[in-house]
Amino acid sequence: MAGQKGTGSDHVEYTANKDATDQVVGRMPTFLLAMTEEERELMEKKLVRKIDARLLIMLVVMYILNYLDRNNIASAKLAGLDKDLNLKGNQYQTCVSILFVGYLLMQVPSNMILNKFGKPSIYLPGCMFAWVYNFCRHCCYEKLWRAFSLSIHSRPGCLYLLTAWYTRKEVGKRTALFYCGSLISGAFSGLIAAGITHGLAGARGIAAWRWLFIIEGALTVFVALLSMFIIPDLPRTTSWLTEEEKELAAWRLEADIGEDDWVDSEHQSMFHGAKLAFTDYKTWLLLGAIYGLTSAGAVTTFFPIVMAGLGKSTVETLLLTTPPYLIGAILVMINAWHADKTGERYLHIALPPIVAIVAFIIALSNTSFAGQYVAMCLMIGGIYAGYVVCLGYISNILPRPATKRAAALALINCLSNVCQIYTPYLYPDSASPRFVAAFSHNLALCAMTIFFATIIRIVLGRLNKQLDEEEGTNIGPSRAQENENEEHGLPGQAVVRGFRFLL
């Protein structure tokens, strides 16, 4: 469970000094004390596999469907949505922009509610079901913008749930798998849209773009209802775990950070957690890094429209969107896997945006099909490979208390998506095929991510040196000292338990 210090690596997660180890063991459940280390590791592996099978797989499926539904707007436009609804001027861009009004308003309170009551198995599928129901119902009545304004998105809740089950060493790869759901959905979205556009246009008197919403919306509703019986709640509130498994799940997280994560709803102060997240300067540095990639990543919402500038037919355009997403998913997984294996974070966040910058430069300077398509194949992987590692970094840098982590995940996700309100206006049809304003903007925002990632690396390096200097204090902190540590962005018992930030 504990990383070793003094190996020459700067990427220390947990200092295995004797005092820290003794204190963690002192909190170990009784049944674990009677086991050998090999038996404990075997039980932990079985628990992680059990959670992977139910939580991780289900979240990936939910996220694939979520993005299929949300990104259908671009495919629907190619299938004639704007013409059928008689959208003029910037009305289409406004429809897309309004989606994020509800998105932004609901992020922080949504995660606070989720953390307070500890029932994600009900809350997350409920959000998924409600969004699709409203979206499809209003689309059928040709009031697309109303459907978007009613949206409630639960992505930060899914991220919070991952960090409530997995240690810092485990969460990176799983966050990457989760986000690969969005990339896989982008790949399948083009294939599905091509099939529906080609085969169901006008079937039963219904336009092809309406069939997109009907078919994929029905599948999403089914999965949302099914997931209520599969997704776990929090380690202490999941009914299908044995009592021993609950204790192990809670203890392993405590051993990872040095503090308990979530006890019950009475111990979850929503406002205190939000205050800690707002007042920790590291929250805002992370926001700067993530905002750049979120803003550049808005290109995926309009990917079929950007692809249409290559001059191919509607069906060919939709099919051409698949390879860039698959390449992106592969790059995301490789980068996240290597980040977890090495324990390094800065380079895994800062290097991928350089690939994206090169891709945008190619797209801006080249109008040939080959050049533009190569750029498209590089930009998604370049953006999302660093983005996913940076998202996982939130729970590494702001791990405790749980209410703070929940608030930080929601706050950063919320504010980083402010860009989604204005970015639709960077992709008008008249800007095709080079989209100079959009690609120039994306290039600059990728550079912004590199800048903030560098600042974070410097700041955390200094904090780790501060913790090194304070190590050796064997007296347990008072509650007042724990509160002071939290106010300064450290887990409450970090000093005596050997916590170090990943760099």
**Phi and psi at residue 492, to the nearest 5°:** -50, -40
User: What's the pLDDT at 9?
Assistant: 35
Q: Which residues of 230-247 are buried (b: 16+ CB within 10 A; e: fewer)?
A: bbbbbbbbbeebeeebbb
CA contacts within 13 A on the Cβ side of 12: 21
pLDDT at 322: 87
What spatial distance separates the first Cα and last Cα of the chain, rounded to whole Å? 18
Domain ranges of the chain: 21-497
Question: pLDDT tens digit string along 103-123?
Answer: 677 777 777 777 777 788 888
Cα–Cα distance, 253 to 166 (Å, whole number): 7
Which residues are CB-contacts of 409 (< 8 A; sequence separation ≥ 6)?
A: 111, 156, 159, 160, 163, 394, 395
| pLDDT at 8 (0 to 100) | 35
Task: List the structure tokens of 386.
Answer: 């660093």
Q: Are 322 and 187 in contact (CB under 8 A)?
A: yes
- Residue 363, pLDDT score: 92
Answer whether 304's CB lies under 8 Å from 321's CB.
yes
Confidence at residue 493, expressed as pLDDT on a 0 to 100 scale: 56
**414-417 long-range CB contacts below 8 Å, 24 or more apart?**
414/103, 414/104, 414/107, 414/108, 414/156, 415/104, 415/287, 415/291, 416/287, 416/290, 416/291, 416/294, 416/295, 417/100, 417/103, 417/104, 417/107, 417/294
What is the CATH number that goes with domain 21-497? Answer: 1.20.1250.20
Torsion, Cα of 463, 468, 473, 477 (10° steps): 20
pLDDT tens by residue, 284-343: 999 999 999 999 998 887 887 888 888 888 788 888 888 999 999 999 999 998 998 888
Please list the alpha-helical segments (H only) found in 298-368: 303-308, 314-320, 322-342, 346-350, 352-365
Closest alpha carbon to 324 in 366, 363, 289: 363
pLDDT at residue 19, rounded to an integer? 47
Torsion of CA 87, 189, 327, 181, to 10 degrees: 110
Dihedral angle, C-alpha 468, 469, 472, 477, nearest 10 °? -90
Predicted local confidence at residue 482, as pLDDT: 56
One digit per residue, the tens of pLDDT, for the chain of length 503 reads: 333 333 333 433 333 344 444 444 447 888 888 888 899 999 999 999 999 999 999 988 888 887 777 767 777 887 788 888 787 777 777 777 776 676 677 777 777 777 777 788 888 888 777 765 554 444 443 334 333 333 444 577 888 888 888 887 788 888 888 888 878 877 777 788 888 887 888 788 888 888 888 888 888 888 888 999 999 998 888 889 999 999 999 888 877 765 555 444 444 556 777 888 888 899 999 999 999 999 999 888 788 788 888 888 878 888 888 899 999 999 999 999 899 888 899 999 999 999 999 999 999 998 888 888 999 999 999 999 999 999 888 878 886 677 788 788 888 988 888 888 888 889 888 888 889 999 999 999 999 999 999 999 999 998 888 777 766 554 555 555 555 555 555 555 555 566 778 88
Token pair for residue 466?
């501060």
Reduce the DSSP state of residue 499 to 3 states and report it: strand
* CA separation for the pair 381, 364 (Å, rounded): 18
- CB of 396 within 8 A of CB of 342? no
